[in-house]
Chain A
Amino acid sequence: MTETELTEINPAVPARNVLEALHAVIDPELGLDIVSLGMVYAVAVVDSQVAIEMTLTTPGCPLHGSIEADVRHCLGQVPGVGDIGVELVWDPPWTPDSMSAEAKRSLGFY
């Protein structure tokens, strides 16, 4: 499973709390949250600014706009979070191995 890199500099909110909040962002196609799917590569919190580095299952995924908007929507409700930056990256590419065991199980992997 993907290990999310957490970085904090004088954080207004712990990076772990930000990552926890991202569990509410659900991939509309797979029906699982983006953290369990292993799409969140890094969370950085500097003061109240939050930067998310994440990927999607497929480059060109038509859901990118809505997932990105959902990330902003969820983090916007976390007390202490100010500016939110979301960067989509394709390196390393997402693979099903990035998922948590529970996510794999719910997709019928086992």
Chain B
Amino acid sequence: MPRLGADGAPPVLPIASLLLGALALALVGLLVLLSPAAFAGYLGLPRVVAINHVFTLTFVGLVFAGTLQQLPAVMFVTKLAWPRLGWLTLPLLAVGSVAVVIGFFRGFSAPWLAFGAAATSLAWVALVVQLARTAAQRWPKDPGSHALLLSALFLALAVILGFTLASARTTPSVAAQVGYPVQLHFTVGLFGAFLLGIIGSGQKLLSMFALSKGGPQWRVRYATYAVTAAILLEALATFARLPLITASHVLLAIACALQAWEVLNILRRRLRKRLELPIQRYVLAHAFLPLAGVALLFGEGGAAMILFLLGFVGLAVSGMLVKILSFLTWTWQFAGASTGGVSGGAPLLRDLVKDELEPIITWGLVLAAAALAAATIWSSALLAVVAGAATLLAGVALTAQASHVVGVTVRSRRRLAAAAAAAQATKTLEEARA
């Protein structure tokens, strides 16, 4: 039997990655608040694209990359391959993401974009190779793990496509060869990486946290097939100019519906009736999938993307961030501790979370997604201000929550270690007196 889930990377790496990710969400809010007019107009402006990449590359990207340093060991029941590779990939990813954002803010600055896209591409390719090597040690059979594997592959592909887009802007020969496949970049990133990542990790984690065992997993399998097929069709439509876009969109809608159905099915079978607040947020995220679909049907592509990203992805990722961070810091501080676990005075995982912050994160993101989508539909800078303030509030609350989780755990461990040392000193003194 292999050693199990604690066999991830050095814990400080994913913890730092998740903390930085939380901070990035607050930065998204601040940037929207500083540029409300941009969201009331054309969404292809460099400033909007930059803010979009703070969300996708820095918030979601860092949380996803940090999670990949721990979750595969749990899902595949094996050891993480090359656990110290994170020392290279995570800083590279952070630096590359910042460079990409600066590149967009500076009006599609070619040197910044080239450096940033190259760094993030390299980091994600290394992460995918690490994930594949980990899976190869004990090839997973469940569809959730397959979805997770594919999502990392698609995220690397989305970043590489971003690199291609940056190159096409500055190098005519690249533009002549591949055109400007921005729609494919969106589809691969939003659905291939984010939707499949949430499907894959969520299926395992939601079942675990809700104590929902042994249900059929065919929805996860077919959702994965649908997303993969949709991306292939869209690639053919982009590069071979075949009329397959509608078919691709239908498949993506089917995948979203299957995911929502799967979540409902897990909840229906669950034996833990009272879900924790971060898990409730993860579940609530799925309400944004039909909303995004409706926006798309009414021709509001920008609003649909905002509802999908800030609503669905934002709520789901922030929910899982709090739960995963609790596990990571607790095991970092207490696994194998000589004081024992909870019996020795360690806190319960739920005691690490400050409940008062959770509604601020949840409803802040809900309000932000609704207001920003409305701002793009009605070209309202005022609604964009509301969205920015709500995102900032949610991001600050998420950062405070993440810091609280880490702080409480570390302080508890230190207090227990000090108490154990004092007890040992007293015992030694008593023995010496005797």
Chain B residues whose C-beta falls within 8 Å of the C-beta of A85 in the assembled complex: none
Chain A residue with the shortest CB-CB distance to B352 = A28
Interface residues on B, range: 35 or more
Q: B-facing mask of A23-37, CB < 8 A → 1, else 0?
A: 011111101000000
Q: Shortest CB–CB separation between residue B23 and chain A, in angstroms?
A: 24
- A26-B350 contact, Cβ under 8 Å, with A60-B75, A61-B5, A61-B74: no
Can you list 29 A-B pairs with a CB-CB distance of less than 8 A?
A: A24-B343, A25-B342, A25-B343, A26-B342, A28-B330, A28-B346, A58-B74, A58-B208, A60-B75, A60-B76, A60-B77, A62-B331, A63-B5, A64-B5, A64-B6, A65-B331, A65-B336, A66-B330, A66-B337, A69-B336, A73-B340, A73-B344, A88-B4, A95-B214, A107-B211, A108-B272, A108-B273, A108-B274, A109-B273
Contacting pair B344 A70 (CB below 8 A): yes
Residues in A with CB closer than 8 Å to B272 are 107-109
* Contact present for B271 and A70 (CB under 8 Å): no
B341:A25 contact, CB within 8 angstroms: yes
Contacts of B51-92 to chain A: CB distance below 8 A: 70, 73-77
| Chain B interface (Cβ < 8 Å from any Cβ of A) | 1, 4-6, 8, 70, 73-77, 208-209, 211, 213-214, 271-274, 327-328, 330-331, 334-344, 346-350
Query: Complex Cα distance A70/B336, Å?
Result: 8
* Alpha-carbon separation in the docked complex, A108 to B337 (Å): 31
- Of the residues A26, A90, A96, contact of B341 by C-beta under 8 Å: A26
Asked whether, in the complex, the Cβ of A59 is within 8 Å of the Cβ of B349, the reply is: no
Chain A to chain B: the 10 pairs with minimum beta-carbon distance, closest first? A73-B340, A108-B273, A62-B5, A26-B342, A70-B341, A65-B335, A96-B271, A60-B74, A60-B77, A66-B335
Q: How far is the CB of A89 from chain B (nearest CB, A)?
A: 8
CB neighbours (8 Å) of A28 from chain B are 330, 334, 341-342, 346-349
Complex Cα–Cα for A88 and B77 (A): 13
What is the total number of residues of chain A having a CB less than 8 Å from a CB of chain B? Answer: 30
* Minimum C-beta distance from A40 to chain B (A): 14
Identify 11 new A-B residue pairs, CB closer than 8 A, beyond the known A65-B4, A95-B214.
A25-B342, A28-B342, A28-B347, A58-B208, A60-B77, A62-B73, A64-B4, A65-B335, A66-B330, A73-B338, A108-B273
Closest beta carbon of chain B to A6's beta carbon, Å: 21
Q: Are B335 and A74 in contact (CB under 8 A)?
A: no
- The distance in angstroms between the C-alpha atoms of A88 and B331, with both chains bound, is 18
A70 to B73, CA, bound (A): 22
Nearest residue in A to B1 (C-beta to C-beta)? Answer: A88
Q: Which residues of B contact A61 (CB under 8 A)?
A: 4-5, 74, 208
Please measure, in the bound complex, the distance between the C-alpha atom of A82 and the C-alpha atom of B328, giving whole angstroms: 32
Shortest distance from the beta carbon of B13 to any chain A beta carbon, whole Å: 15
- Which residues does chain A contribute within 8 Å of B74, judged by CB atoms? 58, 60-62
A69 in contact with B341 given A28-B330, A62-B331 (CB within 8 Å): yes
A104 within 8 A of B: yes
CA distance A63 to B211 in the complex (A): 16
Q: Within the assembled complex, what's the spacing in Å between the Cα atoms of A70 and B345?
A: 11
A90 to B77, CA, bound (A): 12
Which residues of chain A are near B271, meaning CB under 8 Å?
Answer: 96, 104, 107, 109
- A59 to chain B: closest residue by CB: B77
**How far is it, in angstroms, between the C-alpha of A60 and the C-alpha of B144 when the chains are bound?**
14
Nearest A residue (CB) for B271: A96
A20-54, CB < 8 A from B: 24-29, 31
Q: How far is the CA of A73 from the CA of B343 in the complex (A)?
A: 9
Complex formed: what's the CA distance from A57 to B152 in Å?
27
A68 to chain B, nearest CB (A): 8
